[in-house]
Homo-oligomer: A and B are copies of this chain.
Amino acid sequence: MDRLIEAIEDKQNPSVVGLDPTPALVPVQVMDAYHIEADEYVEDDDDNLAATGAAAAYFEYNRAIIDAVADIVPAVKPQIAMYEALGPAGVDCYTMTCQYAREQGLYVIGDVKRGDIGSTAAAYAKHLSGFDGADVWHEDAITINPYLGSDGIEPFTAAAGETDRDLFILVRTSNPSSAQIQELELADGARVYEHVADLVEQWGADTIGRFGYARTGAVVGATHPEEGAALRARMPHTFFLVPGYGAQGGTAQSVAGMFDRDGSGAIVNSSRGIIGAWRDDPRYSETLEAQTALDLVAANARAAAEDMRDQLRVALA
């Protein structure tokens, strides 16, 4: 986790921008511009034309946002589901986005939530270690689902160690129904998510870096501030990725308890609040040129990212 912690220190900003495009979040003139372009260069009678155009639009949208925030945030977190929604063309856009963000000096958290049995997890771990020497995904860290236990985690831990990358394992998610499994009370009195927290702390024990945090971080939703603070104490060597800020209801105050005494130990994600901030800009209209709309996306994303950074700085001061 050292590289991420250094990037946070460098920018004095423990926040990450979620690059989660949807057709509703990308200005319509940008979607249309690339739909037309795809129509020109896609050769055959391709029924995936809309997806190809959307993938091109998503990439331009992401690039505008990355360029706007690269000097003030340490990291971005593309959510692969939004890209998989377009099929393989979307997956191409996802890896291009990851690669471009890394080229701009950003740490890239691939929010892929993969998890499977050992031999299959070893294949997924190529997200980190690459194929035959080539980095095919361009992620610095990925998110992982713990439901299958340690043999589904070890291949990721090994790959992360070999390539100086990191993991974030789901412990307590930000959604309302997370309680259905994660909050179940165990016979020993603990909750399921607390038991998972203990496993995660244990899985990372041999990977602690020079800031005291392991390569195996945890996902802890911003919508559970008290639990988050208790988990901070319970998992002293586990860095937190905190989703749920902004659109899902989390605030700088509600996440403050997930940081350690030095103001480190966590990074907070906001997606729609930053990448969709342009929607509240009165200067936007559907009659604008695509590039002008992208400029507004970029300016609003930067302003929203600065605002989030400043709010976190105040809450952690």
Chain A residues at the B interface, C-beta cutoff of 8 Å: 20, 22, 47-51, 54, 79, 81-82, 84-92, 94-95, 113-118, 120-121, 123-124, 126-127, 131-134, 136-137, 145-152, 170, 173-182, 184-187, 189, 192, 195-196, 199
Q: Which interface residue of A113, A147, A192, A196 has the most chain B CB atoms within 10 A?
A: A147
A123 touches B180 (CB 8 A): no
- Expressed in whole angstroms, the minimum distance between the Cβ of A132 and any Cβ of chain B is 4
Q: A87-B137, A187-B185 given as contacts; is B81 within 8 A of A148 (CB)?
A: no
Nearest CB in chain B to that of A21: its residue: B123
A123 touches B92 (CB 8 A): no
Nearest CB in chain B to that of A175: its residue: B117
| From B49, B81, B131, B187, contact of A123 by CB (8 A) | B81
- Expressed in whole angstroms, the minimum distance between the Cβ of A127 and any Cβ of chain B is 7
Nearest CB in chain B to that of A117: its residue: B175
| From B50, B126, B184, B196, contact of A85 by CB (8 A) | B126
**Assembly CA distance A82 to B127 (angstroms):** 11
Please give, as numbers and ranges, the residues of chain B lying within 8 Å of A186 by CB-CB distance.
184-187
Please give, as numbers and ranges, the residues of chain B lying within 8 Å of A170 by CB-CB distance.
147-148
Please give, as numbers and ranges, the residues of chain B lying within 8 Å of A81 by CB-CB distance.
114, 116, 120-121, 123-124
- Expressed in whole angstroms, the minimum distance between the Cβ of A103 and any Cβ of chain B is 14
**Assembly CA distance A89 to B131 (angstroms):** 11
**Assembly CA distance A118 to B146 (angstroms):** 19
**Assembly CA distance A174 to B179 (angstroms):** 25
Q: A118-B175, A151-B175 given as contacts; is B145 within 8 A of A84 (CB)?
A: no
19 example contacts (A-B, Cβ-Cβ < 8 A) are as follows: A47-B134, A48-B134, A50-B134, A51-B136, A81-B116, A81-B120, A82-B120, A84-B114, A85-B131, A88-B91, A88-B136, A90-B136, A148-B178, A149-B177, A150-B180, A151-B175, A152-B177, A185-B186, A192-B192
Please give, as numbers and ranges, the residues of chain B lying within 8 Å of A86 by CB-CB distance.
126, 131, 136
